[in-house]
Structure formats: C-alpha cells, structure tokens
Structure 1
C-alpha cells in the first residue's frame, strides 16, 4: 500500500497531524460502529492480516530506511520488529474487510492506522525514520472493546518483555488519568456536546528508529474529559499537577501554557488535543502538550509559540527560517505573511503546536507544524517547497533529494 504523496509530505512536515473524519453526527456513528462490529474474531483475519500489513507498510518502511542511509543490518532489524510486533497489532487488513467497515483510525484520513516519516535534525544531513501507529484489536468498536483499549495494552506488554530500556511509569500514569479504559464508559452514552470530535481513537504509539526502536506514547484525552464532564485543559492540568508533586517544574511550565489559553478571547482559545511522553529510560524525560489554534496568520503563530510573551523572545534567525518555510511550503508571498490563511472548516484545520515540558526546566519549549494538507497549493508544490528548504541547509536523502524520494514512494 503506497501512501499517497500528500500523506508523506504532510507527515514529514508535522510528524503528527490529526485527521478529519468526514462522518455524520457522532452519536449515531458510534452506535452504528458497535452494531456492525464483529463480536468474535475470525481465525482467517487473525492469520493473514499481519502478513498483508507487512507486505504493504513494512515494504515501504524498508524503502524509507534505505533512502535515509540505514545499514542493511539496521534495516533488517527494524523490519523484523515491524513484522513480529507491529503488523499483528494493526487489526484486520482492509483487503479482508470487503464491504464491512472496520475501526476508523484517526491516524490518517483514509483510516490507515500507520504513518511513516523522515525526520531531519540539526546535527545530521541525513534523516532518521520514525513511524506512528494506532494498535487495533480484532473486536475494536464492539461492545467487548468499544474504545479499542486492549490492543495498545497488549502491544506494550509484548514490547516490555523484549526491551531493556523501557520506562513505563509515566505511561501508566497518563493511561489512568487521560484515557477511558475498558468498559468504564461507552462512547455512545456520552452526549455529542461533550465531545467536539468525530473519532473514537484514544492512544497512538510512535517509534523513533535508531540502533533500537525508541517508544513514545500519545494520549487523546477528549473522551476522558467528556466522561468526567470537564474540559480537556482541566483534565490534563490535573494529570500534570499530580506528577508535579515530585517534579515541580512540570507544574510551573504547564501553568504558563494554561495561562496563555485562558488569556485568549472566547472563540479563539487553542484547545489541547494530545499529550505525549517518551517511554525510554532517561534522566530527564519529557512531556509534550499539543494545542490546536484556528488563528492562522504567521504573526499569530509567533505569538502562540511565545505564549503571548511568557517565554523568551524567539531569535531573529529562527523567525527568518520560519517565514521562509511558511512561504515555500504554503506558496505564500513574503508580503502576505501577515494575512490569515483561507478559512477551513475541517476538524483538523488551523495550526498545531506542541510545548515540551521537562523536570529540568520551568519553561516549555515550543514547536509548530506547518499545515500543508489544508493550506498548501498542491502535493507537488508542497513537496517542492519543503525540498528546497531542506536542500538550502544541506539536508537530503542518501542518494537523492527529499522531493525525489517522496516521488519514488508514490
């Protein structure tokens, strides 16, 4: 299954961008999902889906690793992990579903539960490879597993058995405080006014591929908030503050984010969409708070990244690079950067940010995602613009440009 070009571009730009699920009112959809789901798994599905996922996604993963300059040994190692642990966790392959509707993952807009990406760092001209997944159980969406909670539990348990560097304390904390688990609450029993989203997804996993696979977990807390009749800001704040008892800087840094959200005008407040953490043994683990804002001018981006003046002023070299990337990827003239982007009504329109907080600092570190999907001129123009930005900084694939690599995956 070759991912469409625009998916590759969008994923490489934003590493995580939530997707619009163009569906009917949630309450009817959720009940329909449960009614149409199979209450017991099929032996045929279970036996053949992993190999189909590996043939489709695993093959593309190998190609991306090769293009990024990974050695044959590392390529084989990461492909084996994907085939052995990840592919069996992706649910029923679409080829086996026929006309039936499976679990609609919020990971991508065609509901594929995997996204692959290259990531360039300042320290290397070649990228690293990462991928994100939503584990899907064979009974996901049924009354046995209404919010698809079991598959991620099972996969993480398997990974823990074979990894010596996993640290799951924060994962367990966030799973308890940000997710609705098992039969705790049924989605169709929560009013649509409580949840301004049309998807059921609650947790994603991501793997940064170095010598070994580094696990990260992503929590979508809207269902937990709805089940408690609280805002996501309140639920996430309570979760962070309970960790801050032993790590005070976490609470101080989060308060800066919360103060900024509260200071924004009604109707213009960013909303918290995701909380993530790394699950690798570290002396200074991090938490990332993802916000989405529907203010789309470059000036509003700069203001949000600075939390309305609460953080250290962004330096001129960063601002220059940000404007350059903004114009190249979105096809905007430098004279128009003060204007808002065209209005979009999609659930994932606007600008996505994250703010990283750590025990070692009382200030969050910001990052912005360029919204290529909704505002780029075309897949071709977005890829060409990003490739130009990378090449000006000496960033390429092993034997070709970013543009050439994406085109070959298409």
Structure 2
C-alpha cells in the first residue's frame, strides 16, 4: 500500500464554508442596515406582510383552546404575553409537540395564577426584583456550548393579586400556596434543603421597607427538559442579615454550614475558597444577592451564591471568574479567551484595554452579576458571569447578531442553525423597532466555562408586552 494521502477539503466544502462566513460577515449586517433605512411604518407593514408576526406557535394555540374558561383576566394576560413567548421559544428550540404541550399546560395551569395582576395602566403592581420593570417572570434560552440543541427555562416570583396592599403587604400569601402546588405538580421535587434554607434565611419577624432596594424574598426557576420539569429555589439573605445585624455573607455561611451534608468542614472546601476570595483585601466589595439550590435530594443538589461586583472591566471579570487566581487550568484559560471574544462582540469592546470599565451607570442592577456554585465535597467552585445586556449592549438586535456571530465562529465550528432559530423566535414575537432601536428584552447573557474550555451561553429574556409584534 502506498503512503496515506493528505486529506484536503473538497472544493464544495471550501465554497460552502466561504458562503457561511459571507452570510455572517457581510449579508446579515447589510440586510439589517438596509432595513434600518426603511421608514418605521413601512417596516411594520413589511414585517406583517411577510408573516414575521403572524405565525402563532401551533401547540400554544392548542393549549390556549384547552385553557378557555380556566383563567381570570390576569392569568389570561400572562398567558398571552409570557406564555406566548414561551411557546415560540419551545417551538423554535425544537421541542417535540408532546413536550411543548406538557410544558405549556404546566405553565398555563400552574404558573400563571401566581404572577399577580396584569401589567395594565394604573395597576398597583408588586415591585418584583425579577426584572427591572418588575415583571415577575424571566425566560431563558440555553445555548449550551453550541454543540447540542438549545433548551428553554423560566424563573418566577410568586405574586398574589393583593401583593403590596394592606391585605398582603409583604406578598406572603402567594408563596404559601405556590409551595403546595409545586410539591404536588412535580413529583421529583425534594424539599429537604428547601426547608432548611427557608428556615435559616427567613427573618424572625416581618421587616418594614425594602432590603437592598427591593422587597422580593424568594424566586423559583424551572428547567424545561424534553422529558421532565425540575425546579430550583432562590433565597435572599438580606432580610435575615438586617434582623440579626450580620452581613449577608455571614448569614449565608451559617445557613450553609448547618445544612444536611454540609456540617463536616471537609465537604465545604469549595465554599471556603469563595470565602477567602471575598475576604481578600485585593477583592473589591462583593454584594451578596441570593443563594440558590436545586430542589432535588441534597446529595445531587448544588449550592449557588449570586453576587454583584460593581467593577466592569474585563480585568475584573478575569479576577472574579478565577477567584483571584485561586482557580486555574487549561480549560479555564481557554474559556476566558472565548469569553473575551464574546465580550468584545456583545459590548463592542474589541481593542479596548482589559482595565477599561464599561460605560458608567448607577442602576441597582448595574455592574456585573456572578455566581459561584459547588456540591458538598467539591474541591473547588465553578463560576459564572451574568452580563447585564439591558445596561451595556447597544440594542437587543445587537445582542441577537452578536450571539449569532459568536456561536458561528466558536471552536471553528459552524453553528448557524442554532443562532438562526433564535433569531427567528425573537423576530416572530417582538417588534422590529423594539429589537433594533431599544434594549431591555435581553436582561442578561450568562457564560460559564465547561470542561475542555467551551463556553456555555444562556440568554435571559424579559417578556415586555409593550414590545410584542401585532398578532
């Protein structure tokens, strides 16, 4: 046998790759620029005439019919807004019709009754910390690393119809019933850690006023897999900290060290790395916002601490993601290089020095949000950054096109299909003008480094009804 020949790309493969790159680098931006020159009223007509906002998710329509008569006007509002967005995301993410039906039915029957009053003019709404405009629900599109199908998730704060009024000043009624619903509706829900952290972080008596700028006390999130829905819970330590004259981190540390499977210090090496980082004099002040757990058996659950850093340079990102160089390795190095690429395209920071901050804003949710997570027995924590796109991206369309560009080029693999369906989902739900000229639909773009250095990316979306396309 002769020497093996060197394998070369075929002319078709080369031309196909060039065509894909042409789409990303030239044609997508050119089409966007041309459309931007069209008057607004003509853009709306063009969008409607091409069917961009007229194709309702088919399973959503079916479940809408099944829900007739079961929702009050507030529930109908949330179904027609957040439920519609959820239906579009599920459909375009490629969920089977059976999975879409199961998830949408769960949302319509179990979640919408706990989202409070409709967001209508003059309504007295609970000031939920879930989103900056107080919508008590946020959806997300998990791109994973781009190598498998995306998945959809949602987060909510249970809100009663009388929340914030004299009849229910601290919004306690809805959560009481929501917990009962959760245990019944999702058979896999395990309450052991939930009950512990709820007791450990709840104040001894109701507190007056907002804690750290908001009144929210608990959030829930749902991972919407093809076969199963699983839940998570998020607790706010500020109430207990204020009541006991402690810092938020002190309250969190005590709650963690008394949790089942965590009383042995050898199980908390990962948490101790975080404590060392937070206490280091070279670390900027960290604002401890939340503690989260998976509502599964403690042996399988994670503890996650969400914290905010007001520094916004990429140098501060590197410092935080590595816990002040306490975390290291080739995977993390590779992941940080990829994160810088996404940072550059998302926030238009290419060529900007690492130590240059993002444009200053004094909003409560400005700065950069992070979490560190660990399981009992972990040697080191994992870290994740949440970039507040609503504060720092130029527009929501900039976010969409940036994610498209990043997901195309990462690892040298073409991932246009995943980015194209996300593009389609956003355009099918929201007005073009809102996407092109405004921001706020994307709340965060989250990134975490996976084994091998791939970057896992998640888009978080606020279902702002005033920006929905006519349908």
Shorter-chain TM-score range: 0.7 to 0.9
Listed as ranges, the gaps of 5+ residues in structure 1 are 1-45
Find the counterpart in structure 1 of residue 73 from structure 2.
48
Query: Cα distance 1:370–1:250, how it changes in 2: closer, same or farther (>3 A)?
Result: farther
Offset, 1:245: 4.4
- The partner residue of 2:406 within 362, 381, 389 is 389
Is it true that 1:295 corresponds to 2:311 in the alignment?
yes
Q: Tell me how far apart the structure 2 counterparts of residues 286 and 235 of structure 1 sit (CA, whole Å).
A: 18
Is it true that 1:338 corresponds to 2:363 in the alignment?
no
- The partner residue of 1:378 within 391, 395, 398 is 395
Is it true that 1:222 corresponds to 2:260 in the alignment?
no
Is it true that 1:107 corresponds to 2:130 in the alignment?
yes
Q: Tell me how far apart the structure 1 counterparts of residues 186 and 141 of structure 2 sit (CA, whole Å).
A: 24
Query: Cα distance 1:281–1:122, how it changes in 2: closer, same or farther (>3 A)?
Result: farther
Find the counterpart in structure 2 of residue 185 from structure 1.
206
Q: Tell me how far apart the structure 2 counterparts of residues 362 and 146 of structure 1 sit (CA, whole Å).
A: 43
Find the counterpart in structure 2 of residue 64 from structure 1.
89
Query: Does the residue aligned with 1:280 lie in a helix, a strand or coil?
Result: coil
8 Å contact kept, 2:269–2:377: no
Query: Does the residue aligned with 1:102 lie in a helix, a strand or coil?
Result: coil
Find the counterpart in structure 1 of residue 429 from structure 2.
409
For residues 130-175 of structure 1, what are the alpha-carbon distances to aligned partners after superposition, in whole Å with 9 as ceiling and x for unaligned? 0111110223223443322332231121121132211111111111
Within 5 Å, give how 1:77-226 maps onto structure 2. 77-95=102-120, 98-122=121-145, 124-180=147-203, 184-188=205-209, 195=211, 197-210=212-225, 211-226=227-242
Query: Cα distance 1:397–1:205, how it changes in 2: closer, same or farther (>3 A)?
Result: farther
Q: How many residues align?
A: 356
Query: Cα distance 1:247–1:358, how it changes in 2: closer, same or farther (>3 A)?
Result: farther
Q: Tell me how far apart the structure 1 counterparts of residues 362 and 345 of structure 2 sit (CA, whole Å).
A: 24
Query: Cα distance 1:334–1:66, how it changes in 2: closer, same or farther (>3 A)?
Result: same
Offset, 1:201: 0.6
- The partner residue of 1:312 within 320, 328, 331 is 328
Query: Does the residue aligned with 1:204 lie in a helix, a strand or coil?
Result: strand
Q: Tell me how far apart the structure 2 counterparts of residues 80 and 248 of structure 1 sit (CA, whole Å).
A: 44
Structure 1 range deviating more: 170-179 or 206-215: 170-179
For residues 351-385 of structure 1, what are the alpha-carbon distances to aligned partners after superposition, in whole Å with 9 as ceiling and x for unaligned? 11110111131311111122322222222222211
Query: Cα distance 1:395–1:85, how it changes in 2: closer, same or farther (>3 A)?
Result: farther
Query: Cα distance 1:249–1:141, how it changes in 2: closer, same or farther (>3 A)?
Result: farther
8 Å contact kept, 2:128–2:136: yes
8 Å contact kept, 1:67–1:397: no
Q: Which has the larger radius of gyration?
A: 2
Q: Tell me how far apart the structure 2 counterparts of residues 262 and 56 of structure 1 sit (CA, whole Å).
A: 44
8 Å contact kept, 2:269–2:380: yes
- The partner residue of 2:420 within 384, 395, 400 is 400
Find the counterpart in structure 2 of residue 260 from structure 1.
277
8 Å contact kept, 1:356–1:365: yes
Offset, 1:200: 0.4
Q: Tell me how far apart the structure 2 counterparts of residues 108 and 254 of structure 1 sit (CA, whole Å).
A: 28
Listed as ranges, the gaps of 5+ residues in structure 2 are 1-70, 431-471
8 Å contact kept, 2:404–2:419: no
Normalised by the size of structure 1, how large is the TM-score? Answer: 0.80
Query: Cα distance 1:300–1:397, how it changes in 2: closer, same or farther (>3 A)?
Result: same
8 Å contact kept, 1:140–1:146: yes
Find the counterpart in structure 2 of residue 36 from structure 1.
none
Normalised by the size of structure 2, how large is the TM-score? Answer: 0.70
Offset, 1:282: 6.6
Query: Does the residue aligned with 1:110 lie in a helix, a strand or coil?
Result: coil
8 Å contact kept, 2:146–2:418: no
Find the counterpart in structure 1 of residue 59 from structure 2.
none
Q: Tell me how far apart the structure 2 counterparts of residues 390 and 51 of structure 1 sit (CA, whole Å).
A: 36
Query: Does the residue aligned with 1:187 lie in a helix, a strand or coil?
Result: coil
- The partner residue of 2:344 within 327, 330, 333 is 327
Query: Cα distance 1:303–1:280, how it changes in 2: closer, same or farther (>3 A)?
Result: same
Q: Tell me how far apart the structure 2 counterparts of residues 176 and 382 of structure 1 sit (CA, whole Å).
A: 40
Query: Cα distance 1:395–1:88, how it changes in 2: closer, same or farther (>3 A)?
Result: farther
